[in-house]
Structure 1
């Protein structure tokens, strides 16, 4: 089976060492956790079980020595959605071992302008995430093996220009 015939679920379920995600959008509110986002906007406390399924999946990977990490490209001021995602989502997901970094392009050029959201697994497989203009998730497409090197370069560029989330959040978070 070639990587282009695998689904994102297949790739996430079979990686051996590392899963990396690049996030580029300011608003994913049409893509999931809609009820939680509305709870956040209403000023209500985060539900105890928020993201619990994902946190357990993360923990199953990280406790077995696998790394799950992501970089989000942002510019300030943050959208309401980013305040929700970073304040609720990232901080909760960290309890499962996921690592986060921020590439803040507020005062500099974006070194990855035009690069789509993607997951990269073990530097061997890539799935590009597709969204409509409003940020609604439309599905993913696993890329052909010959495209993997291009996306591992994007990953390396993101990591080289990003700073750890906890340090960035201490300076700019809510």
Structure 2
């Protein structure tokens, strides 16, 4: 179901009020910056990181609330420790609001089966990954019942989640 999937940058630029991102995996595809961090090497942020930062700043400057919630296992994987230590401070500096929810306190929440972006509580872009965390595709959805379910799930996660500055890994 990858047909009719809008370009992500265009989708985020279309946001008028809100853009929320729900992440539920403990690791994702291999990233050269992550590999360098894991090996103790210092690396400049690649161009795609700087492009993301510019897009976030542009989106927030238009008055769009940008929130990211991560459901994580504890103890955290190296990937999550890297996100917490390195990438999340960059996200926050650009205007994102980020919270963390330990998986152990999410058991009674009804959650969608995949990571996603929800734009203006109207449009969803689901992301699919392989078991190894590699990109597998995505699906666009505007079905009202699915949008309502995703909105409710995200808000339940957000209400329980711990703000980045208070969460330690």
Bin for the TM-score computed over the shorter chain: 0.7 to 0.9
TM-score w.r.t. the length of structure 2 is: 0.87
Describe the shift of the 1:49–1:131 C-alpha distance in structure 2 as closer, same or farther (beyond 3 A). Answer: closer
1:89-100 matches, cutoff 5 A = 89-100=87-98
Cα distance between partner residues in 1 of 2:42 and 2:72: 25
Distance apart, 1:7 and its partner CA: 1.7
Distance apart, 1:12 and its partner CA: 1.7
Structure 2, gaps ≥5 residues long: none
Whether contact under 8 Å (2:22, 2:68) holds in the other structure is: yes
Distance apart, 1:145 and its partner CA: 2.2
Report whether the alignment pairs 1:7 with 2:6.
yes
Choose the corresponding residue for 2:84, options 83, 86, 89: 86
Matched residue, 2:17: 17
How many residue pairs match? The answer is: 164
Cα distance between partner residues in 2 of 1:62 and 1:90: 16
1:45-89 CA-to-partner distances (Å, cap 9, x unmatched) read 242667222111110111221111110001211101111112111
Matched residue, 2:161: 162
Matched residue, 1:130: 128
SS in 2 for 1:89: helix
TM-score w.r.t. the length of structure 1 is: 0.85
Whether contact under 8 Å (1:111, 1:157) holds in the other structure is: yes
Instruction: Calculate the aligned-residue CA RMSD, in Å.
Output: 2.0
